[in-house]
Structure 1
Amino acid sequence: MEDVDIRVIQVLLGHAKLDTTALYTQVATRTISSVMSPLDRITASGHLDEIPI
């Protein structure tokens, strides 16, 4: 998300104020960074043989 101009995100979200978009991007960044992906869970548990193909 670092390479995307915040004004592009502002237009896509339909925000009139850039401050609103900035608030959403801060919240989204914290939320995304706190989520563990399913693949990370599988590799952390050591059950690589249970991955469905």
Structure 2
Amino acid sequence: MQDTPPPAPPQPDLASAPLHEALSLTQGGQVAHIALDGQVYVLRITRGGKLILTK
């Protein structure tokens, strides 16, 4: 009897998700504030071009 691998999780439909340019969110800077349910998050663009989202 062979074990069969579990089915792969469904992939998100990226075509239907909104796309936002990070530099647009930061208005050309390095930081943007994002609010959700009364909480404020900070989106940062690093020197290496990576995104960091913190609370």
From the two aligned structures, give the one with the greater strand fraction. 2
TM-score by length of 1: 0.19
From the two aligned structures, give the one with the greater helix fraction. 1
TM-score by length of 2: 0.19
